[in-house]
Amino acid sequence: MNIHKHMEAVFVATVVLAVGGAYAIDTLPQANAKAAVTASVGAQAPAVVVKAKRMTAEEKRQSLQAERDADGQFAVAQSAANRM
């Protein structure tokens, strides 16, 4: 079947299916949706307040290096365990 020769028929069939599907969906009854139930909290919701000084650039670098070293040690331990 040469699709280029029958492109008009393919288009018409697609439109018929789309219009028929839209009409069928529109005739369905609406869903009985209920309002969302929200939990009521007392007068005040608990809040977490973090008070700390900001890290300096050097402290950030050291912290990042410590994390990378810890990740590297974990990776080495994992590869050693996989060899066994």
pLDDT tens by residue, 12-66: 999 999 999 888 888 877 766 566 666 665 667 778 888 888 999 999 999 999 9
User: Residue 14: its pLDDT value, please?
Assistant: 95
Q: Kindly report the pTM of this predicted structure.
A: 0.33
Instruction: Output the 3-class SS for 24-81.
Output: HHHCCCCCCCCCCCCCCCCCCCCCCCCCCCCCCHHHHHHHHHHHHHHHHHHHHHHHHH
